[in-house]
Chain A
Amino acid sequence: MRQAGELDESVLELTSQILGANPDFATLWNCRREVLQRLEAQKSPEELAALVKTELGFLESCLRVNPKSYGTWHHRCWLLGRLPEPNWARELELCARFLEVDERNFHCWDYRRFVAAQAAVPPAEELAFTDSLITRNFSNYSSWHYRSCLLPQLHPQPDSGPQGRLPEDVLLKELELVQNAFFTDPNDQSAWFYHRWLLGRADPQDALRCLHVSRDEACLTVSFSRPVLVGPRTETLLLMVDESPLAVEWRTPDGRNWPGHVWLCDLPATSLNDQLPHHTFRVIWTAGDAQKECVLLKGHQEGWCRDSATDEQLFRCELSVEKSTVLQSELESCKELQELEPENKWCLLTIILLMRALDPLLYEKETLQYFQTLKAVDPMRAAYLDDLRSKFLLENSLLKMEYAEVRVLHLGHKDLTVLCHLEQLLLVTHLDLSHNRLRALPPALAALRCLEVLQANDNAIESLDGVTNLPRLQELSLCNNRLQQRMVLQPLASCPRLVLLNLQGNPLCQAVGTSEYLAELLPLVNSILV
C-alpha cells in the first residue's frame, strides 16, 4: 500500500490495529507519519484538528500498552512538533502522570525535557518537579541528571568563570540533599554519581600542553590537551617559524596517524640554521583556539615550552577546583559515613577522589590504603582499581619530577598495571618502569621523543608497540618479561640510536636462532644480551 501510494485513513486504521497491540514497530509509525503528512495537505483545519486529537488519544493508548516504547514517544514528539498550537500544558500533565506510575521511565523523562524545552517551562518549575520525584524515591538517575542540567541554567556563571558549575551556596544545598540520599542508602549509586558531578568541574579548555623542537632530529613535537586528528592539508594546525607560516606534514610518533595527544613534523634545515641568534616556533591550534610558542637558541640542541602540571592542576580534573573548604567538609562527612559503613565501595571511592582533589601528594599514603580496602570489598572491579591506582601513582610521580626539575622518572616498584599520561612525558630522558605488573609498552610510549634510557625489567611485558621511532633511545632493558615471539621485537628496528638491548630472562631467549634473528634485525645494536 505504501508503495502504491495509498496513504489515506485506511492505513491509519490498519496500522493502529497492529500498533495498538504492539507499539514497537518502527516501520508502521513511519507509515503513519507519511499518511499524516499527506492528509495535512488535503484536510481542512477542523478535520485536521479532529485527526490530531484521535492521533494523540491513540498514542496515549499505545503508551499504556508499553510506556517504554521508543517509537511511540518519538511519534508523539514528531506530532507535537508539527502542530500549530500544541497544548504543552497537557503534555506536561501526561508526563507527570506517567512518571507517577514509574518515576524512572527515562523515555518519559526524555519526552518531558523535549516538552519543557518547547514550552519554555522555567527551569525553576522543572527543578521543583525533580524535587518532588526525588522526595518520593531518590534512586532516580533521570531526576538527578535533570537537576544537573537545570541548575547551571538557573545559576549561570559570569562569563569568565568555568561553565556548567554552580555558585557555592547552591552547591552546598545540593551537597546536603545528596548527602541525605547516600547516608540513607549508601548503596544507591545514583546519588553518588550526582555527588561526583557536583564536585566535578567542567571539561578543561582546549590547550597545547607542550611544544618541543629538536635540532638533531629536525623535528617539532606538539602535545595536546585532548586527542586530536590532524589531517593532511587541513587548517587545524598552523606552524609559524619566525613569524612566517611554514607548510609541514604532521604525523603521530607511532606513525599510525590516528587521533592522539601528540603530533610531530619534520622541519626543513632552513628553519634550524645557526645564522640567527634564535628561532621562534609558534603552533596555532585553530579548532581549539589555542597556541603555544617556543624558542630554539643558537647553539642549543633543543628548545621547549611546557605547561606545568602543578600550576595547571592537570590531574585534578576528576574532582574540582571548588573551594577546598567544601571539599574538606565533604571528605569529613564521607569519612564519617565510612566509619559507619566500612565496606561501602562508593564511599571509599569518593574518599579517594576527594583526597586526590584536595592534595594528591599529601594524601598519597592514605589513598593507597583506601585502595587496598576498596579492592578487598569490591573484588569484581579489582582490575579497574589497579588501573586507577596506577594512574594516580603516575600522576604523583610526575608532580614530584616536576618539583625536582629533572627529566628522569622513576616508576619502579609501584605495582603499576597500566601506563597513562604518556603525552605528559615528552621531555623525559630516563624512564625506569622496572618491577611493575605491566603487560605492554603501549603505542603512546612513542611520544617520549627525548627518551634515552628505558628500563622495564621484571614486568609481564608481551608487546613492545610503543618502542618505535624513538629517535634518542640508546639503552633498552627488558629482563625477566614475557616476550615470546620474535615478531614483537620488530618495532625496535625503528630506533636508530639503540646500542644496548638486554632481553635476558624472556621466553624467546630459549628459542633457537634468536641471536641470529636479532643480529639481522638490529645490525646497529652493538650489545645484545639474551
Chain B
Amino acid sequence: MADSLPTEFDVVIIGTGLPESILAAACSRSGQRVLHLDSRSYYGGNWASFSFSGLLSWLKEHQQNGDNAEESTASWQGLVHETEEAIALRKKDETIEHIEVFCYASQDMDDNIEEISALQKNPSAVTSKPLDSVCLSEETNSLHVTSSETHAKDTPKSDEEISLEVTDVEDILAEEKCCGDKTCINTASGGDKDENKPIEEDNTDQPKRNRITYSQIVKEGRRFNIDLVSKLLYSQGLLIDLLIKSNVSRYAEFKNVTRILAFREGKVEQVPCSRADVFNSKELTMVEKRILMKFLTFCLDYEQHPDQYQAFVHCSFSDYLKTKKLTPNLQHFVLHSIAMTESSCTTIDGLKATKNFLRCLGRFGNTPFLFPLYGQGEIPQCFCRMCAVFGGIYCLRHKVQCLIVDKESGRCKAIIDHLDQRINAKYFIVEDSYLSEETCSNVQYKQISRAVLITDQSILKKADSDQQISILIVPPMESGTCAVRVTELCSSTMTCMKDTYLVHLTCSSSKTAREDLESVVKKLFTPYTETEIDKEELTKPRLLWALYFNMRDSSGISRSSYNGLPSNVYVCSGPDCGLGNEHAVKQAETLFQEIFPNEDFCPPPPNPEDIIFDGDDKQPEALGTNNIIMAKPDSSEENKNPESPENHLQN
C-alpha cells in the first residue's frame, strides 16, 4: 500500500484524533489533497474506543515502557538535502501513564448457566467464541488478539436489534426545525425513545443479581466499546452543529443521556432539570418546584435581568445561589449537576454555564447531552470517512520519522515516513503527542485522571428501566481537589455487554489517576466478592473490573511554547478534560481558517442528485475513483445505519 502512496499533497495530517479528523474532513471537502496518517493501528489516537480485548492490548502496549529497540536514526538522514534540515518526530507515544488494572470478577472457568444462555441468544457470538475463549485462559495475556479485531464494530449485529436503537440525528433534525424557536424548556421533542424494549424484556425475568465472571467479560469482549476519553455532546454544542452542517451526522447514531444525577449526603439522586422532570419529581416539594423553575427560567435569559445578579458579580456562584431562596438540595443541583462548576466559580460563569445547560435541553430529549452509539471513538472516524469520500488518503500504522524544513524559507516542505519515503506537501498538521521531546521541552502539560469500571448494576436503580445513561458530578471531597465526572453507560449504548454497566470517571489530575479517583469509586461501588457481604454494601453496584490511568492533556498550549516549528506546521492537541467537545471543534476551525482563510469550513456536501457528471468536473470524479482508501469502519457503519425513514413510523 505504502509503495503506491503519492508523493505530492496539499495537506499532510499526522494523528487521527478528533481535531485532526475534523481538519482532514474540512481540507478534503474544500478540495485539498489530504494525506492522513496515524502511527497506531487504530483510528482516533487518545480519542479511540476499544473492545475489551482491544483495550487489553492497548494497555499492554503502553505498559511496555522503553523496551522498544531504538531504530537507527540515520536511515533518513541521507534523504535530507543540504538546503534542508530535519525536525525529528517522537517515536513512542508517552501520553499515557500510571496504568493500574484491577480485576474483581471471579476468574474461574467453569461454564455456568448464564454463559450458555447468552450464547444461545446470540448465535453470531458462537462463531467467534473459539478464538476468543482460547486467549481467555490467562486474563492478562490477551495479546493474541489480532489487530483486525481492534475494531469491535466488526461484530455482526442482528438487524432487528439495531433498527430499534436508531435515534438518527438527521431525522430528529427535521423535527427540530418544525419546533422553530421555541425555548428549549418548552420543547420536548418527541423524537427519541430511550428505552430499548427487547433488552428490557430480556432483563425482567432475572430477579436476582447476575453473577458475571471475568471469562464472560472477555468472551463478550466485542460488546464493549471503551472510550479512552469520556465525553458527551451538548445538544446545542459546536460538535452537534458541525456534524449537522457538514452532514457527517449521517455516519453516526446517538442516544440521549437519560439522567442527570447528583451525589449528596452519601446518596445518589436524580436531578430534575427539565420542565417534565420537575413536574414528575417526587422528591421536591411544591414550593421547591416553583423556586427551581423560577430560577432556571431566569437563567435562560439572565442577561435580560441584570438587576437580579449585578450586585453579586464579585461573589462566587455558590454564594449567589444562597441568596436566591434555593433550598440546600436545589443549590447542590444547580451548582454541581446543572452548571457543573466548581464552588469557587463566579456568578457570571455559573449563570453562563447554567444557561448553556438549559439551552441544550429539549432539542433531542429531556437532558442536554447525547452519547454516540458504539462510543466516542466513532466521531473522529466519521470525519475521516467524510475526508475519504472527498478523496483523502488514509494510512494507519504509518510512522513519520521527521519533518523536512527548507532552510531558506523556513517552511516545512515534506515528511519522511518509516519507509524512508519523502512526501511533499504545503501544510502539515501534527498532533501534539507526535512532537519530539526537544520540540516540547518548554511545554507544561496538564494531566487527566481516568478510571474505567465495569460494574454489575446502575448507581441509581430505577424500576422503570435499567437502560439508562447517566452523568453524575461528585463534588470535591476536600478543598483543593477537583470534582469528578462520572458517566455511566448501559448496554444499549453498544459500549458494554448485557447486564453490565460501563462507568467512566474523569477529573483533572492532582496525583495519579488511582489516587485521584479511588475515593469516589469506593463511595459509589463495592468490589465484587464471591462471599456474600452485609446488606448495606449489597445495595451498591459491584465492581467487576477497574482500570486507572493518566492521560496527557495538551489542550490550551500556546503555539509559541513549541520550539522551532516552521510556520506551516500546525499543532492539534489531544483530548482535554472538559465534558463537551467544544475545544476540539474550535481548534479545528481556528486552524482551518488560519490555513485557508477564504474557504468555507465543512459546508454541507452537495446533494448527489445535483452533481453533474460532465467533462472536467473534479468532485464527482473524486467520489468514484479508486484511490480512496476507505476508512476501515465503513462496513460496519453501513450495517448500523438503516437510513430508511420508515423506521421511525413503522417500528
- Is A135 in contact with B290, judged by CB distance below 8 angstroms? no
A232 to B136, CA, bound (A): 99
- Is B275 in contact with A333, judged by CB distance below 8 angstroms? no
Instruction: Judge if B279 is at the interface, Cβ distance under 8 Å.
Output: yes
Instruction: Judge if B124 is at the interface, Cβ distance under 8 Å.
Output: no
Per-residue B-contact encoding for A175-188, CB less than 8 Å = 1, 0 else: 00001110111100
Nearest-Cβ distance from residue B648 to partner chain A, whole angstroms: 9
In the assembled complex, which residues on chain A have CB atoms less than 8 Å from the CB atom of B624? Answer: none
A180 to B292, CA, bound (A): 13
- Is B291 in contact with A185, judged by CB distance below 8 angstroms? no
Nearest-Cβ distance from residue B647 to partner chain A, whole angstroms: 12
> Which positions 284-327 of chain B face chain A at CB distance < 8 Å?
286-287, 289-291, 293-294
Which of B186, B193, B280, B287 is the one whose CB lies under 8 Å from A336?
A: B287
- Is A183 in contact with B280, judged by CB distance below 8 angstroms? no
The answer to whether residues A183 and B289 also contact, given A64-B649, A102-B190, A138-B279 and a CB cut-off of 8 A, is yes
With a 10 A CB-CB cut-off, give which of B188, B280, B290, B291 has the most chain A CB atoms. B290
- Is B294 in contact with A136, judged by CB distance below 8 angstroms? no
Summarize B's interface: helix, strand, loop or mixed: helix
Instruction: Judge if A515 is at the interface, Cβ distance under 8 Å.
Output: no
In the assembled complex, which residues on chain A have CB atoms less than 8 Å from the CB atom of B290? Answer: 183-184, 186, 337, 340-341
Chain B residue nearest to A97 in the complex (CB): B649
Q: How large is the interface on A (under 10, 10 to 19, 20 to 34, 35 or more residues)?
A: 20 to 34
Per-residue B-contact encoding for A468-505, CB less than 8 Å = 1, 0 else: 00000000000000000000000000000000000000
Chain B residue nearest to A98 in the complex (CB): B649
- Is B287 in contact with A183, judged by CB distance below 8 angstroms? yes
Which of A100, A136, A180, A341 is the one whose CB lies under 8 Å from B286?
A: A180
A101 to B279, CA, bound (A): 20
Instruction: Judge if B276 is at the interface, Cβ distance under 8 Å.
Output: yes
- Is A340 in contact with B280, judged by CB distance below 8 angstroms? no
Chain B residue nearest to A103 in the complex (CB): B190
> Which positions 326-379 of chain A face chain B at CB distance < 8 Å?
333, 336-337, 340-341
A138 to B281, CA, bound (A): 13
Nearest-Cβ distance from residue B184 to partner chain A, whole angstroms: 13
Nearest-Cβ distance from residue B11 to partner chain A, whole angstroms: 44
Nearest-Cβ distance from residue A179 to partner chain B, whole angstroms: 6
- Is A180 in contact with B276, judged by CB distance below 8 angstroms? no
Instruction: Judge if B166 is at the interface, Cβ distance under 8 Å.
Output: no
Instruction: Judge if B602 is at the interface, Cβ distance under 8 Å.
Output: no
- Is B286 in contact with A333, judged by CB distance below 8 angstroms? yes
In the assembled complex, which residues on chain B have CB atoms less than 8 Å from the CB atom of A185? Answer: 275, 279, 293
Per-residue B-contact encoding for A307-332, CB less than 8 Å = 1, 0 else: 00000000000000000000000000
Nearest-Cβ distance from residue A475 to partner chain B, whole angstroms: 56
Nearest-Cβ distance from residue B292 to partner chain A, whole angstroms: 9
The answer to whether residues A135 and B275 also contact, given A179-B286, A183-B290, A336-B287 and a CB cut-off of 8 A, is no
Instruction: Judge if B278 is at the interface, Cβ distance under 8 Å.
Output: yes
In the assembled complex, which residues on chain A have CB atoms less than 8 Å from the CB atom of B287? Answer: 183, 336, 340
Which of B175, B280, B293 is the one whose CB lies under 8 Å from A135?
A: B280
Chain B residue nearest to A139 in the complex (CB): B186
> Which positions 261-278 of chain B face chain A at CB distance < 8 Å?
275-276, 278
> Which positions 101-131 of chain A face chain B at CB distance < 8 Å?
101-103
A103 to B175, CA, bound (A): 14
In the assembled complex, which residues on chain A have CB atoms less than 8 Å from the CB atom of B175? Answer: 101
Nearest-Cβ distance from residue B524 to partner chain A, whole angstroms: 28
The answer to whether residues A184 and B190 also contact, given A135-B276, A135-B280, A179-B286 and a CB cut-off of 8 A, is no
- Is A136 in contact with B276, judged by CB distance below 8 angstroms? yes
* 6 shortest interchain CB distances as A-B pairs: A183-B286, A184-B279, A183-B289, A183-B290, A184-B278, A340-B290
10 A–B contacts from the bound complex (CB under 8 Å): A100-B193, A101-B190, A135-B280, A180-B279, A183-B293, A184-B279, A336-B287, A337-B286, A340-B287, A340-B294
Hey, which bits of chain B sit against chain A, CB under 8 A? 175, 186, 188, 190, 193, 275-276, 278-280, 286-287, 289-291, 293-294, 649
